[in-house]
Structure 1
Amino acid sequence: MSSSQRLASVGGKYTQKLYFDPRADQSSTGGYWITDKKLRQKLSNLIDKDEVIQDAYVYSNPLSKRQWTNGKLYHAFVIIQTMNWWWSMEKNMERITIQRSKDIESVRDMYQRKKRTTGRSPWTWIRKIKTTQGRNTTINELINYIWRKDVLNKDYHVLYANCQKFAALLFDRIKSFEEQVYFDEAADESPSRSTGFYMTVDKAFEEVKRCGGSESFTKQEDYKFRVPFIRHVYNYCRFHTQLDFIFEMCFCGFLMSFITFCRGYYSVAIFTFTCIFLWMLPDLLLSVFDYCFDGGKYHLVMIFEQQGTFWSLEQLNTTLVIHRTKDKDVLLNECQRHPRRTSLKSSKMVEGLHWKNMNEAMEYFCKIQKNKVDVFPSLKDNNVIFLLYKKCKRKNTA
């Protein structure tokens, strides 16, 4: 593709950089240009990492001052209110811009100290489209989310990666999120308010970092625990159907079939039994295949050793589980402070560390790793850890 064709497809010359203006309400401070590689580290030094989002809004303004109505042709940007600041976050054909101010007017009505474009009618003024509460999300978590979604490295596209898509991405993250990580920073100590939390991936980055995630690993071991077939089938069917009472329903159905059979209603019993069997058959076959060929018979636990500290990394359905302790036996015998109900099959000392520290492991797992079609992994896939293990195993044997 020629350069002219590429510019036509993306809508402009996108620099893959973020511009941060820390005081948009004052005379020009020079601002900061930040690349994706330095995004989290540099911004975390420029802002209050624990600043909680109180409210978030999506605003729009026309693309041209000649417009009479916005319709679908408008620029969208996000306005965020915290206790001490007003923020704007937006994407255009050249960059992503974050502005911060003590008053809303400097970020809502202005872009880089120039008035935003407005049209010829009240319908083309700067308008509020959506509103949501912050739900205890911090600004730093939102920055982690931008980094994890690789937004800076995605070129601008007038249809698929424009300002409206970017605003919707941030707004939806603030409005609702899934707590996909369980992190226990002291799994060998008595339960307290600071241990055993469910949290988002974006918050887990900061918690791991706070607990010494930058300290170097000295050793890595991979443990396989054998999963009983019946338990695997139950967990697989429950996970894929999202119905906790599936087996209770089947039990009632089989009981009804047995009663009708005993009373002589053979055709009704056979019909009921056949319906239940056909309903369960697809999930049963898939669970058997997963158990035999896709690693379902094993539960994998990766254990990393630092100086006097052990970390474990494993996955329970769609939840990434991270434990930190000074007693390695706790990681082998317990999970989420409950005894493991699986038997240890094998353990293996890994030759050569895959990652230098826990921060690097989290980064690799949540962003850097890509699958065969160049798509970032999701914890919605319940075998991400095992696929990562097989990938590392092939790398060691190569």
Structure 2
Amino acid sequence: MSSSKSGAKGGAIIGGAIGGAIGVKFTHKLYFDPSADQSDTGGYWITDEELRQKLANLIDTEEKIKNASVYSHPLFPYQLTNWKMFHAFIIMETNNWWWSIEKNSECITIQRSKNLESVRDMYQREKRTTGWTSLTKIRNNETTRGGNTTIKELINYIWREDCLNNIYHLHIANCQKFAALVFDRIKSPYNDQVYFDEAADQPRSTTSSCYMSVDKVFSEVQRLSASETFTRLEIYKVSISSWNIPDFFVPDFLAFLFRQISELFSHHHFVIFETDKGTYWSFERLPTRFTIQRARNKDILLKECQRNSRETLLSKSNLEKSDVAVRQNMNAVLGFIWKKDKTDIFYMPVEHCGTIALLIYDQFKRK
């Protein structure tokens, strides 16, 4: 449950709780107040398309979350108990700031302040609602350590989950559901690791790891590909093994079927993008995870995967298709794969690496 003023004083509480019934409409925007404890600053309205880049320009997105808490307060000032009628929001602490993040029937709001009280006790410069008893004060319900999650990774996660396009609903997409989504991500980072090597043709530092979360990959790729634009793309096909089915052992129709299955399972496919800066990116699905590599030497991407020779288990990479690419970058590929409505691609079985490669190829070739 929530309100158009997230439990701020007045009739906005009731209007928001009822939702669109009296005209309140979810804006599909995020409101960011960078200095909630200062009276002379204004906020920013940010769309889904602007979310990651615009916030990155406004804040230090590499700040690590030290801890996070789920807070709640009543929707109505005359409540005697919270029961199920309460607004939930998240408070986060970093080294330099206090942050709040929450959803209501109007928007998603992020506030930042040097003082805890300015984001815990206030929403968009108005006092949050409290009830008549000690049971209906603003209360901390649960706290967790932030681990190594950064503000930017959390923003990437919110974007991937399509939260700004997930219309507010009183029961199934309310403030409590959103708070739980954010808190769970901080409490238990998802094990959706990707192998990402930003310089596959250079010696690797012994202190660096190529295994990272999807949200971390988004940050790294955004940093590296911002000034690079695709010029060409290619699909490569690599033989893994040959399954020769003797025709005389099985009927003709079964032999044909086995050959089709053999073709599906005995080849690996991957995509290579060339950019206008003389760099190359490979993107492919392996048995345990997706692998993304970047290099200035294209031959390395053809010969090696995760610093191992492709010819150890595979044969020589063969070019299957080549075309002019759309004027986008690897950041757009990640969005195509990991944005909420495309997660079915991410979870495709590894044997469908050819399908995944073809989907990416068709999406990013110039029409």
TM-score (norm 1): 0.76
Superposed displacement of residue 179, structure 1: 4.3
The answer to whether the 8 Å contact 2:333/2:360 transfers is: no
Q: Which of 209-218 and 386-395 deviates more?
A: 386-395
Q: Does 1:154 align with 2:178?
A: no
Equivalent pairs, count? 331
Contact 2:89–2:176 (CA<8 Å) still a contact in 1?
yes
Identity of aligned residues (%): 51
Could you say which residue in structure 1 is the equivalent of 2:12? none
CA distance in structure 2 between the aligned counterparts of 1:361 and 1:71, rounded to whole angstroms: 44
Quote the residue 1:387 is aligned against. Answer: 355
- Any conservation in 2 of the 1:185–1:196 contact (CA below 8 Å)? no
Deviation at 1:391, TM superposition (A): 3.2
Task: Look up the match of 1:187.
Answer: 200
Matches for 1:265-276 after TM superposition, within 5 Å: none
Aligned-pair CA distance for 1:313: 0.6
Q: Are 1:317 and 2:330 counterparts?
A: no
Q: Deviations over 1:41-71 (max 9, x none)?
A: 1111110021111111110111111211112
CA gap 1:48/1:97 in 2 versus in 1, 3 angstroms:
same
Cα 1:148/1:294, change in 2 over 3 Å: farther
Match of 1:224 among 231, 237, 241: 237
Q: Is 2:341 the counterpart of 1:329?
A: no
Per-residue CA distance 1:356-375 (angstroms, 9 max, x = gap): 2212222222228x45xxxx
Q: What CA RMSD, in Å, does the superposition of the two structures yield over aligned residues? A: 2.9
Give the alignment partner of residue 308 of structure 1, picking from 278, 286, 290: 278
Following TM superposition, by how much is the alpha carbon of 1:351 offset from its aligned partner in structure 2, in angstroms? 2.0
Instruction: Indicate conservation of the 8 Å contact 1:58/1:131, yes or no.
Output: yes
8 Å contact kept, 1:196–1:336: no
Helix, strand or coil for the counterpart of 1:174?
A: helix
Q: 1:393 to 1:221 in 2, by over 3 A?
A: closer
Distance 2:19 2:98 in 1: 35
1:333-370 Cα offsets, whole Å, 9 max, x none, are: 221112221124631242231562212222222228x4
CA contact (8 A) 2:337 2:345 kept: no
User: Any conservation in 1 of the 2:270–2:357 contact (CA below 8 Å)?
Assistant: no
Q: State the partner residue of 1:26.
A: 38
Return 23-32 or 71-80, whichever deviates more: 23-32
Q: Is the 8 A contact 2:34 2:112 kept in 1?
A: yes
Where structure 2 has 5 or more consecutive residues not aligned to the other structure, the ranges are: 1-17, 244-256
Alignment partners' CA distance in 2, 1:79 and 1:166: 13
Task: Give the structure 1 partner of residue 153 of structure 2.
Answer: 141
| Shift in Å, 1:153 | 1.1
**Partners in 2 of 1:6 and 1:289 — Cα distance?**
57
CA pair 312-290 structure 1, distance change in 2 beyond 3 A: farther
Q: CA–CA distance in 1 between the matches of 2:19 and 2:100? A: 28
| C-alpha displacement of 1:91 | 0.4
Distance 1:207 1:110 in 2: 34
1:89-168 correspondence to structure 2 within 5 Å: 89-168=101-180
Deviation at 1:382, TM superposition (A): 3.1
1:143-163: per-residue Cα shift (whole Å, max 9, x none)?
111111110011100111100
8 Å contact kept, 2:323–2:366: no
Kept in 2: contact 1:304–1:311 (CA 8 A): yes
Query: 1 CA distance for matches of 2:87 and 2:284?
Result: 42
1:361 aligns to 2:333 (yes or no) = yes
Measured against aligned partners, the alpha-carbon deviations of 1:57-115 in whole angstroms (never above 9, x if no partner) come to: 11011111121111222100000000000000000011111100001111011111221
Asked if 1 retains the 8 angstrom alpha-carbon contact of 2:303 and 2:317, the reply is no
Residue 271 of structure 1 corresponds to none
Q: Which amino acid aligns with 1:216?
A: T
Amino acid at match of 1:169: L
TM-score normalised by L of structure 2: 0.82
Tell me how far apart the structure 1 counterparts of residues 20 and 117 of structure 2 sit (CA, whole Å). Answer: 33
Match of 1:211 in 2: 224
Which amino acid in 1 is paired with 2:332? E
Instruction: State the partner residue of 1:87.
Output: 99
Cα distance in 2 between the residues matched to 1:22 and 1:81: 14
- Whether 1:339 aligns to 2:309 is yes
Instruction: State the distance in 2 between where 1:219 and 1:298 align.
Output: 23
- Alpha carbons of structure 1 residues 206 and 146: separation in structure 2 relative to 1, 3 Å: same
Instruction: Describe the SS at the equivalent of 1:300.
Output: strand
User: 1:203: Cα distance to partner?
Assistant: 1.3
The structure having more radius of gyration, on CA atoms, is: 1
